[in-house]
Structure 1
Amino acid sequence: EVDRDIAEQAAQILGTTTLRATIDASLREIVNAKRRLELISLLQDPDRYELDTSTDAWGGDN
């Protein structure tokens, strides 16, 4: 059973007009939010990138 009240609120936020579209868009938003969090985590890891090498690759000053 789908909670119609929360589905209506989600539809307003997402700009969807059918229950099916609202559910699909909601699921996509959840997956995308997880991916954004994973990307943020990767970017915050100071050992993830060799900044000197990156600068050299872009023709930076030594």
Structure 2
Amino acid sequence: MHIDIDTDTCIGAGQCALAAPGVFTQDDDGYSTLLPGREDGAGDPMVREAARACPVGAITVTEPGG
């Protein structure tokens, strides 16, 4: 799984961090970022829900080769 956060679109709502706190966090400026070592989603079933929860659609989740 590949997770991309469009930092130009992110507004720092934090919905991703609430939905999947084991994968997403917020940086010092309040914008979403991936936790170190969790760049592939770490098998967390909530990653896709976190992407759907983003109010501005800043998160894209894709499968390798897809």
| TM-score after normalising by structure 1 | 0.22
Which structure has more relative contact order (CA 8 Å, sep 6+)? It is 2
Larger Rg belongs to: 1
Which protein has the bigger strand share? Answer: 2
